[in-house]
A and B are shown apart, each in its own frame.
Chain A
Amino acid sequence: MTDTENQNVKIKARDVTVHYGEARALHGIDLDLNANEVTALIGPSGCGKSTFLRCINRMNDVIDGCRVGGTVSIDEQNIYSDAVDVVELRARVGMVFQKPNPFPKSIYDNVAYGPRIHGMAQDRATLDEVVERSLKRAGLWEEVKDRLTASGTSLSGGQQQRLCIARAIAVNPAIVLMDEPCSALDPIATAVIEELMEELRRDYTIVIVTHSMQQAARISQRTAYFHLGDLVEHGQTEAIFTKPQNQQTEAYISGKIG
């Protein structure tokens, strides 16, 4: 199952294994992810798709007893090499989590936090601009422009998730990872975020973990199906959903297992 159209590869994973203590969560994953595309990682719970996602910005590092093997390269550089600073890496690879998790600070400070700690804004005017631009890109600006000092936690769930997206893109990452970003949202808020992803993919490489087949079909260009720590099948979303090569994939997509 080699990918035939792998020009423009942004992220290259080779033989990625992850152990949580003694338990093995991923068994040697080889996967290429293209720039300016949305790649959806699907599969039943516990299949390792979130684990794989967290390998891309080394968020697994903070989990006690978690070991990662193999290589993950971004723009041909292995992010697990000693030369890579994990803090700098996470500035290049933003992440949006399953549950909206704004800081208990003002909306402004939520978005400005990343640029501030990375020294990306020299003065207040630049920072204001970054905050405005990020909120606009996340489609939240019109709703919050008059109350930037209000607490981020006072927003609705969908707004909070867009605030988290604005916070992630404020540091101008190349890649945005999304771990089931819509699972806590209603269909309307989900639709807003899905539109946003379509818009964002022009500038970013997006990797999304989702439990919703329809969502994967709607928004992604490529889909990878994981099962019990193995990458079973991956390819063009259309192909995966219409003519899956693997029986397991077909069973999952058609709702027979999952």
Chain B
Amino acid sequence: MTDKSDTKSHTEAYEARLKKRYRAERRFRAYGMAAIMTAGLILVFLLSSIVYSSLPAFSHHHTRLDIQVSTDYVSADAPEQGNYLGLVRAALRDQFPEVSGRRDKRALYKILSIGASDELQKRVIAEPDLIGTRLSLDVPLSDDIDLMLKGLIDRTLPESDRIVSDRDLVWADKLLAENRISRKFAFALFTNGDSREPEMAGIRGALVGSLWTLLVTLIVSFPLGVLAAIYLEEVAPKNRATALIEVNINNLAAVPSIVYGLLGLAVFINFFHLPRSAPLVGGFVLALMTLPRIIIPTRAAFASIPPSIREAALGVGASRTQVIMHHVLPLAMPGILTGTIIGLAQAAGETAPLLMIGMMAFIVDVPGDVTAKATVLPAQIYMWANNPERAFVARTSAGIVVLLTLLLVVNAAAIYFRRRFEKRW
């Protein structure tokens, strides 16, 4: 037995060390939690600010007009050629009989969206029986009136500082007082292509363009990337040539994406004369960019399969191809899919390489195939952000929400497929 004082001093030093160690561990934990919480807070702030500023874009104010579908404007023989805007304007004039004079009338028409007659046109063409009758219809108001009604324009400002004139306010108030104004879900945001008018501008063209582009990217880069990775990792001899290829692939992953755009412009458009602004070329360019991002994680997935599995298969007389196809590839599949999806998600958010091949363009039509002119979501968001109309602010955020949703769906798909492949074992 050691004597008492000795034991005590030993205990004190020991306790001090113990306390110090516990403190260090608590500190380490605290740093980690602080880092996570900071990141989480930034993310929450970012997402909530985007979602909050996008909310106005998801609804739009309409006014109910009583429209006399008179044969003066539309003939029953050819309803397609009718002057529907005239019909709507006539109904609006009826609403405000006190407005007279050409200039005043023209100012009055401006409280309606230029797409105000679209709904009417669709309905009358579908049901020609409506010609000659009177119907009540909600037509969209202009973007400025809509913003004012949403409270995004300060009515108390002097008229010169406001985009809505005093007269507009009077007319809008009259419609409000007659209970003719309603707020509806903005279907146009999801059904229309791009437009110069914010209330008519939709994300559909860019969304479909993005999907076409990603489809081409996937079809090109997935098989090429996986086969290249299999060859390099499993088949190729380890020599200087393969080492050089490996270094180059790693370097390609770090090449600025705009360089791929220049390459695409030079090769696909100027040399092969493929169409400009087309998802086909965009997909090729993004596939080039995505290839190293698929090859590298795929090789890592292959390298992480324990050699004992290969030996076991070789030991019972499996050929090299059988070892790869029956054992290594299925085991590496979750890793390959994760790499591919992350690569695709990056491609989906990429704008720079597409600038060079003309996909940053004002395109109204929804692209029907991979050679049609198209733009992509991030390019659309950037173009909307550049537009001067106030209503595009919310549209821009709404575009970001759609892009983020697309990425979420892609990532969820990745998780789903990974789970499915893992379950098999």
A102 and B317 form a contact (CB under 8 A): no
CB-CB under 8 A from A97, the residues of chain B are 308, 311-312, 315
User: Is residue B70 contacting chain A, with contact meaning CB distance below 8 A?
Assistant: no
Contact B317 A91 (CB under 8 A): yes
Would you call B317 and A101 a contact (CB within 8 A)?
Answer: no
A59 touches B309 (CB 8 A): no
| A164 within 8 A of partner (CB) | yes
Contact A87-B317, Cβ < 8 Å, known A103-B327, A104-B331, A104-B425: yes
Contact A118 B317 (CB under 8 A): yes
Contacts of A168 in B (CB 8 A): 315-316
Q: How close is A190's CB to chain B, nearest CB, in angstroms? A: 20
Would you call A87 and B311 a contact (CB within 8 A)? no
Contact A114 B316 (CB under 8 A): yes
Q: Which residue of B lies closest to A113 (CB)?
A: B316
Q: Does A167 contact B (CB under 8 A)?
A: yes
Cβ-defined partner of A103 (8 Å) among B238, B312, B317, B322 = B312
Task: For B107, list chain A residues within 8 Å (CB).
Answer: none
Restricting to A94-118, which residues have a CB under 8 Å from any CB of B?
94-97, 99, 101-105, 113-114, 117-118
Residue A5 is within 8 A (CB to CB) of chain B in the complex = no
B residues 302-324 touching A (CB-CB < 8 Å): 306, 308-319, 322
Q: Mark B45-86, 1 if CB is under 8 A from A, else 0.
A: 000000000000000000000000000000000000000000
In the complex with contacts A64-B238, A103-B327, A151-B425, A94-B313 CB distance below 8 A: no
Given A114-B317, A117-B322, A101 contacting B312 (CB threshold 8 A): yes
Total count of chain A residues near the partner, CB < 8 A:
30
Contacts of A36 in B (CB 8 A): none
Specify which chain B residues have a CB less than 8 angstroms from the CB of A91 in the assembled complex: 316-317
Q: Which residue of A lies closest to B310 (CB)?
A: A62
B308 adjacent to A171 (CB under 8 Å): no
Interface residues of A in 30-82 (CB under 8 A from B): 57, 59, 62, 64
For B316, the chain A residues whose CB sits under 8 A away are 90-91, 94, 113-114, 117, 167-168, 170-171
A57 touches B315 (CB 8 A): yes
Query: Closest approach, in angstroms, between the C-beta of B309 and any C-beta of chain A?
Result: 6
Q: Which residues of chain B (266-312) have a CB below 8 Å from chain A?
A: 306, 308-312
Instruction: For chain B, give the interface size range.
Output: 20 to 34
Instruction: Let me know if A59 and B315 touch, CB within 8 A.
Output: yes
Other-chain residue from B238, B308, B326 in contact with A99 (beta carbon distance below 8 A): B308
A65 and B238 alpha carbons, distance in the complex (Å): 9
Q: Is A186 an interface residue (CB 8 A)?
A: no
Cβ contact within 8 Å between A117 and B318:
yes
CB distance from A22 to the nearest CB of B (A): 16
Q: Chain A residues near B309: list those with CB within 8 A.
A: 101, 103-104
Asked whether any CB of chain B lies closer than 8 Å to the CB of A88, the reply is yes
A62 and B314 within 8 A (CB): yes
Distance to closest chain B CB from A34 (angstroms): 23
A104 to chain B, nearest CB (A): 4
| Chain A residue contacts of B322, Cβ below 8 A | 117
Residues in B with CB closer than 8 Å to A96 are: 315
Residues in A whose Cβ lies below 8 Å from that of B313: 103, 113
Query: A147 to B312, alpha carbons, bound, how many Å?
Result: 22
Expressed in whole angstroms, the minimum distance between the Cβ of A153 and any Cβ of chain B is 8
Q: How far is the CB of A228 from chain B (nearest CB, A)?
A: 25
Shortest distance in angstroms between A235's beta carbon and chain B's nearest beta carbon?
29
Once bound together, how far apart are the Cα atoms of A25 and B175, in whole Å? 96
B312 contacts A88, CB within 8 Å?
no
Specify the chain A residue showing the minimal Cβ separation from B323: A62
A94→B312 CA distance, assembly (Å): 10
Q: Tell me, rounded to whole Å, the shortest Cβ–Cβ distance linking A55 to chain B.
A: 14
Complex Cα gap A96–B425 (Å):
22
Residues on B with C-beta less than 8 A from A99 are: 308
Contact B312 A90 (CB under 8 A): no
Q: Which residues of A contact B327 (CB under 8 A)?
A: 103
Query: Which B residue sits closest to A89, measured CB to CB?
Result: B317
- From A62, which residue of chain B is reached at the shortest CB distance? B314
Closest to B238 in A: A64
Chain B residue contacts of A170, Cβ below 8 A: 316
A168 vs B309: C-alpha distance in the bound complex, in angstroms?
A: 14
* Whole-angstrom distance between the Cβ of B381 and the nearest chain A Cβ: 44
Give B298 Cβ to nearest chain A Cβ, in Å: 19
Query: Is the beta-carbon distance between A90 and B238 smaller than 8 angstroms?
Result: no
Distance of A108 from chain B, by nearest CB (Å): 14
- A90 adjacent to B317 (CB under 8 Å): yes
**Distance, CA A104 to CA B314, complexed state (A):** 15
Determine if A95 and B315 form an interchain contact, defined as CB atoms under 8 angstroms apart. Answer: yes
**In the bound complex, CA of A145 to CA of B327 (Å):** 24
User: Among residues 173 to 187 in chain B, which have CB atoms less than 8 Å away from a CB atom of chain A?
Assistant: none
Bound form: Cα–Cα A71–B174 in Å: 104
B214-239 interface bits toward A, Cβ cutoff 8 Å, 1 = contact, 0 = none: 00000000000000000000000110
Which residues from chain A contact B314 at a C-beta distance below 8 Å? 59, 62, 90
Chain A residues with Cβ under 8 A from B306's Cβ? Answer: 101
Q: How far, in Å, is B391 (CB) from chain A's closest CB? A: 56
CA distance A90 to B316 in the complex (A): 6
| A105-B425 contact given A97-B308, A117-B322, CB 8 Å threshold | yes
What is the chain A residue whose CB lies nearest that of B320? A62
Instruction: Name A105's closest neighbour in chain B (CB-CB).
Output: B425
Alpha-carbon distance A101/B312, docked complex (angstroms): 6
Residues on B with beta carbons closer than 8 Å to the beta carbon of A102: 312
Q: Which 4 A-B pairs have the closest CB atoms?
A: A91-B317, A101-B308, A95-B315, A114-B316
Instruction: List the interface of chain A (C-beta within 8 A of B).
Output: 57, 59, 62, 64, 87-91, 94-97, 99, 101-105, 113-114, 117-118, 151, 153, 164, 167-168, 170-171
Apart from A62-B310, A103-B313, 5 more pairs, CB < 8 Å: A57-B315, A59-B311, A99-B308, A103-B309, A151-B425
Q: Can you identify 27 A-B contacts, CB atoms within 8 angstroms?
A: A62-B314, A88-B317, A89-B317, A90-B315, A90-B316, A91-B316, A94-B316, A97-B308, A97-B311, A101-B308, A101-B309, A103-B313, A104-B309, A104-B331, A113-B313, A113-B316, A114-B316, A114-B317, A117-B317, A117-B318, A153-B425, A164-B312, A167-B312, A167-B316, A168-B316, A170-B316, A171-B317
